[in-house]
Structure 1
Amino acid sequence: MTSPSGSGQNSIADNGVLTIPLSTSENGTALDHDLLLAATEKLLAVTRGDIDAGAILLCGEGRNFCAGGNVARFAAADDRAQYLRGLADDMHQVITLLYETRLPVVAAVTGWAAGAGMSFVLHSDIAIAGTRTRMRPAYPGIGLSPDGGMSWLLPRAVGPSRARYIIMTDQILDAERLLDLGLVSEIVEDDAVRTKALEVAAGLAAGPRGSMTAIRTLVHDSATRSLRDQLDAEARSISTLSATAEGVEGVNAFVAKRAPDFRGAR
């Protein structure tokens, strides 16, 4: 199994996991604009079929997942409005592509996930946190408003009233609170976050990819569907998957009381 290099570059591992770092140790683990551009290229390659990946791992290359935007760079921009619009557009392109790949997304949430970092965690399907993990909206502290889809996803996760309270009062949410709110999936020891997240991502990549894609799509789309429409979508999905190689293998393996070989069925 290969692992992401410390160079801050996206990498594809032989376990089927595409690792996308969002920050490095430079600039206090702030969101790295160059890494966003590199992420876009890798995700576009996945959508084109040039990279065969089964899961995506979001992470930071320093002690924090992502400590938010690089405020010093905001301040130094000749035209702050123009710079922030460009940065937001580039970040939103990455988020859009995360969904367009249709792959499960795992986040290794080490240390702080603030501002844009918190937004990226919200877009993951499974977020592994450490005991010292903290999340914070951070936008009101610098007089700005959310980006990265925080104002869309957080209300869906915790309800609009609580979302407004968390963002407007710039709450610091510790690991246990994040788990209670359902914003992270599991808490492990801090030095095990990256290992556990990669293990989870690799397990998803090795599993039935059609099933993982369908689960992610169904859960995401449920937010804008009626129950009747969602039931119809579930019926279409399960019947379609039953005729795929992975679906046939999964059912046959269950009946034969053996472990399914989903990799061989692709």
Structure 2
Amino acid sequence: MTSVTLDSADGVATLTLRRPDSLNAFDLDLAARLRAAAESVARADVDVLVIAGEGRAFSAGGDVRQMAASGDAAGYLRALTRDVHAALAAIRELPVPVIARVHGPVAGGGLGLVLAADIAVAAESATFTAAYGALGLSPDCGVTALLPKVVGAARARAFLLGGLRVDAVTAREWGLVARTAPAAALDDSVAEVVERARGAGREAVAATKALLADDDYRAQLDRESAAICELAGGPAGPRIDAFAGGGAAR
């Protein structure tokens, strides 16, 4: 099974993370395929992009087991963030609305993917956590660039530094997601948002998104990559090995 698929029908592209046994954690293959898929959407004749995850989670972030198994966590993260960050930048700059269909656990880099979307629709069973602190790592995937702007600086600090786990209702109240729905009604809710978002046209969407753009996003992605790689190559190394031994993903 390929780790990322991109399908299109009736003007709607759907990008699906497909590593369900790993909670759609980012490994090097998924990162490269995510980048290629995101960049291809910019050239495709579509009106909307929906991002989803297969299985019981949207995404648990970076694959800690693969990180530890590489024997060079810093080098692994350098390669991983190169492609994932390029994918996220491409998603942010797409000339079409991007809708995140969020269910189950969202952690680490998965949160960055939700933030990169224009509109997030979450199942009421979804949960959100940073998870970086358990590994002794700093955030990546644009989390420090976008989370404070979305939820406010104080909440972002509490979330990232306080180890909070936020449920879907709280995420909606904070503005992290735009809409919640029962799990059984999630697809219908996403479809409704898609229909409302697809009518403006690529030119108007591109202009609007350019006006709303955070000009520091790409630069902050680079700073995040440098910081997390430095930590992974130093004090976080033993934590990564210990965490991976428990079979978890960030």
Residue correspondences, number: 217
Conserved 8 A contact 1:111-1:134? yes
Q: Choose the corresponding residue for 2:53, options 60, 71, 77.
A: 60
The 3-state SS of whatever aligns with 2:128 is: strand
Distance 1:175 1:160, change over 3 A: same
Q: Contact 1:57/1:198 (CA < 8 Å) preserved in 2?
A: no
Establish whether residue 181 from structure 1 lines up as the match of residue 174 from structure 2: yes
Give TM-score scaled by structure 1 length: 0.74
* 1:172 alignment counterpart: 165
Counterpart of 1:19?
A: 14
Partner in structure 2 of residue 108 of structure 1: 101
- Separation of aligned partners in 1, 2:91 and 2:48: 10
Q: What do the CA deviations read for 1:163-214 (whole angstroms, capped 9, x no partner)?
A: 1121011210111110110000111011222343244235433543333333
Shift of 1:32: 4.5
Match of 2:65 in 1: 72
- C-alpha distance in 1, partners of 2:26/2:194? 22
Residue 185 (structure 2) aligns with: 192
Question: Relative to structure 1, is the Cα distance of residues 116 and 222 closer, same or farther in structure 2, using a 3 angstrom cutoff?
Answer: closer
Q: Distance in 1 between matches of 2:13 and 2:28?
A: 19
Tell me the C-alpha RMSD between the 2 structures.
2.3
Q: Which runs of 5+ in 2 are unaligned?
A: 218-250
Contact 2:3 2:29 in 1 (8 A): no
Aligned mates of 1:202, 1:8 — CA distance in 2: 27
Q: Relative contact order, CA 8 A, sep 6+: which one is greater?
A: 2
TM-score (norm 2): 0.78
Residue 156 (str. 1) matches residue 149 (str. 2): yes
SS in 2 for 1:66: coil
After the TM superposition, which residues 193-208 of structure 1 pair with which residues of structure 2 at under 5 Å, given as runs? 193-208=186-201
CA distance in 2, matches of 1:156, 1:15: 33
Output the amino acid matched with 1:95: L
> Is this contact kept in 2: 1:69–1:115, CA < 8 A?
yes
Say whether 1:38 aligns with 2:61.
Answer: no
Larger Rg: 1
Output the CA distance in 2 between the equivalents of 1:114 and 1:23.
16
Distance 1:223 1:77, change over 3 A: closer
Q: Do 1:23 and 1:66's aligned partners in 2 also have CA atoms closer than 8 Å?
A: no
Is residue 134–residue 174 contact of structure 1 (8 Å, CA) maintained in 2?
yes
